[in-house]
Amino acid sequence: MLKISFEVTGEKQINRAFDAAAKAFEDFTPVFKELGKRFQSYEKQMFDTEGGISGSRWATLSPGYRAWKSINYPGKGILERKGTLKKSLTSPQAVHELEKLSAAYGTTVPYAIYHQKGAGNMPARKPIKLSKKERHNWTRELHRYIKSVIEKRITA
14: DSSP letter: E
Q: What is the pLDDT of residue 15?
A: 65
Q: Give the residue numbers spanning the domain of 121.
A: 2-155
What DSSP designation does 113 have? H
- Residue 114, classed as helix, strand or coil, is helix
Tell me the Cα Rg of the chain: 18
Q: What is the pLDDT of residue 117?
A: 95
Number of structural domains in the chain? 1
8-to-69, 80, 126 alpha-carbon distances in Å: 28, 20, 9
CB atoms within 10 A of CB 68: 12
CA distance 62 to 55: 21
DSSP H or E run through 70: helix 63-72
The pLDDT, as a whole number, for residue 94 is 76
Would you give per-residue pLDDT tens digits along the chain (156 residues)? 566 777 777 676 666 655 555 566 788 999 999 999 999 999 999 999 999 999 999 999 999 999 999 999 999 999 999 999 999 999 887 777 889 989 999 999 999 999 999 999 899 999 999 999 999 999 999 999 988 888 877 776
